[in-house]
Amino acid sequence: MNIDDKVGKTLQELGMTDAAGVVALFAEVRTAMESEREALVARGASSDPVRDQLCKALRDRWLARKSGLVSLIDENWLKMAMKELKPVVGRQFNQLRQLASCMETEALARDVQVRRDAVVQVRGLQLEASAGSVNVEVTLPGLRRPLGSIHPVIRVQREIEDIFLGLGFKIETGPEIESVYYNFDALNIPETHSSRDDWDTIYVDSKTLLRTHTSPVQIRAMERYVREGSQGGLYIITPGKCYRNDNPDATHSPMFHQMEGLAIDTDITFADLKGTLDFFAKKFFGEKTRTSFHPTFFPFTEPSGEVAVSCHVCDGQGCRTCKESGWIELMGCGMVHPQVLKNGGIDPERYSGWAFGLGIDRFTMARYGINDIQLFFQGDVRFLEQF
Ligand code: PHE
């Protein structure tokens, strides 16, 4: 019969009729208490919370008011003791109670060490380690670290880059925090021009803003071209982030991605622009794709055009992707305005050029049939892991 069984019975039921038996019985209780304490101290705990939990469990086992072992001894042994045995049981019980104070949680916690090797964590399962040797359950599956993947917008950016790199274009980048001069003035957008309203947005100070398009890189690239005394033409694409004071909705985001294309050489015409963009659209959306150019206005190009491609989903028949029109508008473009060439230090009498600007996010939405631009920037793994 172990201690737990014995405390459930009275001394009489246990056959204790003399003082010597009582003393021996209490000695047995003290030994049990001490060895349980020592076992916990020897084992230690893997962390502070685990230690506190273990200490509290042992404390409750012995000292809980209702069914702790000491209370049961009080109820069943002391209170029920025969008159002749009461004094000796009383003395032994008081002694036990004093000794049992070492089972208070704080007293235990002082002696139980937190050790890294006490418990090994494997996939949320706690495997107890006996002192010195560690039991690891080797048949459990290991920890699998999820692999990341390339963000869909960057994936499409690289796809577009590849097409233009294949045509001999180079990648050029510029700062996202841009000067008002490069973002507007050098691009033929004076302070008083009404077209500035759309883009006159996120300022850092009166001369600096978060660029509203990648077009300022046109000027920076021309300046570099002149500075370095380069020969031949200037053929670049400029991917990067842009910012506008737009409220986020399904098709707008205050931060988005653009890619500018710029070709400057001694005999560039609008035909080169059309040919290049038509080739690009076929490469990106498929050989059946047709392009359509509509006149529009940009202060930095003249003439200016908007480019639509035939819907790659319905092939121009009209569907949800193209909003039943058969066409998807994807780019702005035009011949670089002579004043812009001048601002970049290039002689418009000798050189001409074309430029385009496209929204990479919009291309990505068109490519994958995504109807909400916000999905790109919410970082939801359930969305991103599909790419
Ligand atoms: N910068 C223009 C925009 O953000 C796009 C564009 C670039 C148009 C180059 C023509 C030429 O809307």
* Residue found by looking up tokens 């796809």 in the block: 159
CATH number of 152-384: 3.30.930.10
Write down the domain spans for the chain: 3-128, 152-384
CA–centroid distance, 342 to ligand 1, in Å, is: 18
Q: Please identify, by atom number, the ligand 1 atom nearest to the C-alpha of residue 199.
A: 4
**Distance (Å) from CA 297 to ligand 1 centroid:** 10
pLDDT at 95: 92
Q: What does the buried/exposed string (b/e) look like for 163-186 if buried means 16 or more CB atoms within 10 Å of the residue's CB?
A: bbeeeebeebebeeebbbebbbbb
The encoded tokens of residue 140 equal 């459990």
**pLDDT tens sequence for the chain (387 residues):** 889 999 999 999 999 989 999 999 999 999 999 999 998 888 888 788 888 889 999 999 999 999 899 999 999 999 999 999 999 999 999 999 999 988 998 889 888 888 765 555 444 444 444 444 556 677 777 777 888 889 999 999 999 999 999 999 999 999 999 999 999 999 999 998 887 887 878 999 999 999 999 999 999 999 999 999 998 999 999 999 999 999 999 999 999 999 999 999 999 999 999 999 999 999 999 999 999 999 999 999 999 999 999 998 898 899 888 889 999 999 999 999 999 999 999 999 999 999 999 999 999 999 998 999 999 999 999 999 898
Ligand 1 pocket (Cβ < 6 Å) reads: 213, 215, 260, 298, 301, 332-334, 355-357
- What ligand 1 atom has the least distance to the C-alpha of 213? 4
Considering only CA atoms, which residue is closest to atom 6 of ligand 1? Answer: 357
Angstrom distance (rounded) from CA 291 to CA 73? 94
Q: Between β-strands 170-171 and 234-243, what pairing exists: parallel, antiparallel or unpaired? A: parallel
Helix orientation angle between 152-166 and 270-285, rounded to the nearest 10 degrees? 130
State the pLDDT at residue 134: 57
Residue 369 phi, psi (nearest 5) = 65, 40
Please tell me the residue having the least CA distance from ligand 1 atom 4.
213
> Closest Cα to atom 5, ligand 1: which residue?
357
Q: Where are the beta strands (DSSP E) in 73-139?
A: 119-122, 125-128
Residues linked to residue 357 through DSSP beta bridges, in sequence order: 260, 332
Q: Supply the residue whose CA is at minimum distance from atom 10 of ligand 1.
A: 333
CA of 332 to the centre of ligand 1 (A): 5
Q: Whose CA is nearest to atom 2 of ligand 1?
A: 357
Q: 333: CA distance to ligand 1 center in Å?
A: 6
- Which helix (H) or strand (E) segment holds residue 353: the answer is strand 352-359
Instruction: Output the pTM of the full model.
Output: 0.65
